[in-house]
Amino acid sequence: MAYDNNNIFAKILRGEAPCFKVYEDERNIAFMDVMPQSEGHTLVIPKMAAENIFDLPPDDAASLIQATQKVAAAVKRAIKAPGLMIAQLNGAEAGQTVFHIHMHVIPRWSGADLKL
């Protein structure tokens, strides 16, 4: 499937849709998920147009992981979460709903339900 320039994260990247941005570097941004699975649920996305993990060149993939590591550490520290999940879905069949690659950073507490 070809990358759809009208997906919501492409609009956020172009400044055409709002977001609560918490991090930015040369290749990535991070912002709060609008329908959080837990307090502090944050999304990290590359600026490059890529639908999924398979479309991301190695340099951008490495940069996305590094950004995710930084964001995850900051989120975990800021809200004192005992655990933290990082998830990334590829394809509608896997549950992907926004077709611009994104890393979910989801703080976890024991006993809390999660539906990704």
Annotated catalytic sites, by residue? Answer: 102
**89 interacts with ligand 5GP by CB under 6 A:** yes
Unique residue bearing structure tokens 């933290």: 84
* Residue closer to ligand 5GP (CB basis): 36 or 66: 36
Site map for ligand 5GP, 5-34, x if CB under 6 A?
---x----------x-----------xxxx
**95 interacts with ligand 5GP by CB under 6 A:** yes
- What one-letter code names the amino acid at 3? Y
**35 interacts with ligand 5GP by CB under 6 A:** yes
For residues 11-43, b (16+ Cβ closer than 10 Å) or e, as one string? ebbeeeeebeebbeeebbbbbebeeebbebbbb
Please, what is the end-to-end C-alpha distance for the chain in angstroms? Answer: 23
- Contacts with ligand 5GP by CB under 6 A lie at 8, 19, 31-35, 89, 95-98
